[in-house]
């Protein structure tokens, strides 16, 4: 898989500031927590209650060009689900959406996780198309579709 290129060179925090989703003080607090404990800045902002998951996902869409896919009312292909074991889906917080020929569409909460995408390519033998969804959307879809097995 080719390295992921930013469409917009600004950091996630800067874009959230510009859109008025968070303020400078909130960003500073989140960055301090990230420096101390690690983690993704978007997740930290959500945990602190400063931003909604959807807002983070939509800004990542602007930043990297991944299409945003809310999964709540999306009907996922049972054949696509079978391609990725449940433990792998949970580990990377991703779910297979659809397969057309050798193209597998997945949705994940962290589309910047190149290792996850490469692992799915190796596991399935498919080329991967990535959509972004919120962490909750993906987790709920995993519960819904893998519990049917």
Predicted pLDDT at 65: 85
Hey, what's the torsion of the CAs at 75, 122, 118, 64, to 10 degrees? -40
Give the pLDDT confidence of 83-123 residue by residue, as tens digits.
Answer: 999 999 999 999 999 999 999 999 999 888 899 999 999 99
Predicted pLDDT at 64: 82
Predicted pLDDT at 62: 83
Residues in Cβ contact with 81 at an 8 Å cutoff, skipping those fewer than 6 apart = 95, 96, 145, 146
pTM over 0.75: yes
What is the gyration radius of the CA atoms in the chain, in angstroms?
16
Predicted pLDDT at 48: 96
Task: Return d(Cα 130, Cα 122) in angstroms, integer.
Answer: 15
Residue 60 pLDDT more than 80?
Answer: yes
Mean pLDDT of the chain: 90
């Amino acid at each position: 898989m080719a390295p992921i290129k930013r469409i917009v060179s600004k950091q996630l925090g800067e874009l959230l500031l510009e859109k008025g989703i968070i303020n400078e003080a909130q960003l500073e607090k989140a960055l301090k927590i990230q420096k101390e404990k690690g983690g993704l800045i978007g997740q930290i902002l959500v945990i602190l209650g400063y931003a909604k998951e959807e807002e983070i996902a939509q800004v990542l869409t602007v930043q990297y060009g991944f299409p945003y896919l809310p999964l709540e009312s999306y009907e996922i292909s049972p054949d696509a689900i079978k391609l990725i074991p449940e433990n792998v889906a949970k580990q990377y917080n991703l779910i297979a959406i659809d397969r057309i020929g050798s193209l597998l569409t997945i949705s994940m909460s962290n589309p910047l996780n190149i290792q996850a995408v490469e692992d799915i390519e190796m596991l399935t033998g498919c080329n991967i198309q990535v959509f972004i969804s919120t962490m909750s959307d993906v987790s709920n879809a995993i519960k819904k579709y893998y519990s049917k097995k």
